[in-house]
Structure 1
Amino acid sequence: MRTVLSWSGGKDAAYALAEMRRADSVTVKGLLTTVAADTGRSSMHGVRRELYERQAAALDLPIEFVELPTEPTNEAYERVMAAAIESYATRGIDRIAFADLLLDDVRAYREARLSDTDLDGYWPLWGRDTTTLAADFVERFAATVVSVDGDLFDRSFAGRAFDAEFLADLPEVVDPCGENGEFHTFVWDGPIFEDGMQVRTGETVTRAVGDGEFHYCELVTG
Structure 2
Amino acid sequence: MKIAALFSGGKDSTYALYWALKNGFEVKYLVSMESESDESYMYHVPNIHLTELLAEAIGIPLVKARTSGEKEREVEDLKEVLSKLDVEGVVAGALASRYQKERIDRIARELGIESFAPMWMVDPEEYMRNLVGEGFEVIIVGVSAFGLDESWLGRKIDEKTIDDLKRLNERYGVHIGGEGGEFETLVLDAPFFKKRLVVDEAEKVWEPMMGSGKLVVKKAHLEAKE
1:83 maps to 2:89: no
Provide the residue aligned with 1:199 in structure 2.
199
Tell whether 2:123 aligns with 1:129.
yes
Structure 2 match to 1:149:
144
Q: Which moved more, 1:183-192 or 1:160-169?
A: 160-169
Counterpart for residue 95 of structure 1 = 89
Unpaired segments ≥5 residues, structure 2: 222-226
Letter in 1 for 2:138: A
Match of residue 212 from structure 2: 214
CA distance in 1, matches of 2:207, 2:73: 23
* RMSD of equivalent CA atoms: 2.5
TM-score normalised to structure 1 length: 0.84
Match of 1:178 in 2: 178
Q: Which residue among 108, 112, 119 is the counterpart of 1:114? A: 108
Tell me which residue corresponds to 2:224. none
Matched position secondary structure for 2:84: helix
In the alignment, what sits opposite 2:35? 36
- Letter aligned with residue 141 of structure 1: F
Q: Secondary structure at the match of 1:33?
A: strand
Change (3 A) 1:179 1:201: farther
What does the per-residue CA deviation read over 1:124-162, in whole Å, with 9 as the maximum and x for residues that have no partner? 222322111101111211111110105441111111112
CA deviation map 1:54-109 (0-9, x unaligned): 1110000111112012xx32243133222112111xxx200111111233443223
Query: 2-side partners of 1:207 and 1:43: how far apart?
Result: 21
User: Per-residue deviation at 1:37?
Assistant: 5.3
1:46 equivalent to 2:43? Answer no
Identity %: 22
Looking at structure 1, the residues matched to 182 and 37 of structure 2 have their Cα atoms a distance apart, in angstroms, of 25
Task: Give the direction of change, closer, same or farther, for the CA distance of 1:217–1:43 in structure 2 (3 Å limit).
Answer: farther
